[in-house]
Amino acid sequence: MDKHRIGILTGGGDCAGINPAIKWIVKTALDKRLASERNIQYEVVGIRNGWQGLIDIDPTGPDAQGNIVPLNEAQVRTWDRYGGTNLGTSRTNPYDPHNDRSKVLIENLEKLGLDTLIVIGGDDTLGVAFKLAKEGINVVGIPKTIDRDLPGTDYTLGFETAMNVIVEGVDRLRTTAGSHQRTFVVETMGRNSGWLALEGGASSGAYIILIPEYDFSIEKVNELVLEGRRSGARYDIIIVAEGAKPLGGIEFVRNGSVDSFGHKALSGVAEFVAEAIHEGTGRETRSMVLSHLQRGGVPCAYDRRMGRYFGIAAVDLVVMKDFGKMVSYRHGKITAIPIEDALRGSRLVDVETEYDVERYNGRRTILRPSK
Q: What is the DSSP letter of 215?
A: P
**Which residues are the active-site residues?**
147
Rounded Cα gap, residues 85 and 107, in angstroms: 25
Rounded Cα gap, residues 78 and 171, in angstroms: 30
Count of positions (residues) in the chain? 371
Q: What is the DSSP letter of 217?
A: P
Of 142, 199, 162, the residue nearest 335 (C-alpha): 142
Of 258, 278, 276, 298, the residue nearest 83 (C-alpha): 298
What is the identity of the amino acid at 225?
V
DSSP letters for 265-307: EE--HHHHHHHHHHHHH---EEEEE-GGGGT-SPPPHHHHHHH
Rounded Cα gap, residues 324 and 309, in angstroms: 19
CB 286 within 8 A of CB 185: yes
Rounded Cα gap, residues 101 and 21, in angstroms: 28
DSSP letters for 326-341: EEEEETTEEEEEEGGG
3-state class of 40 per DSSP? strand
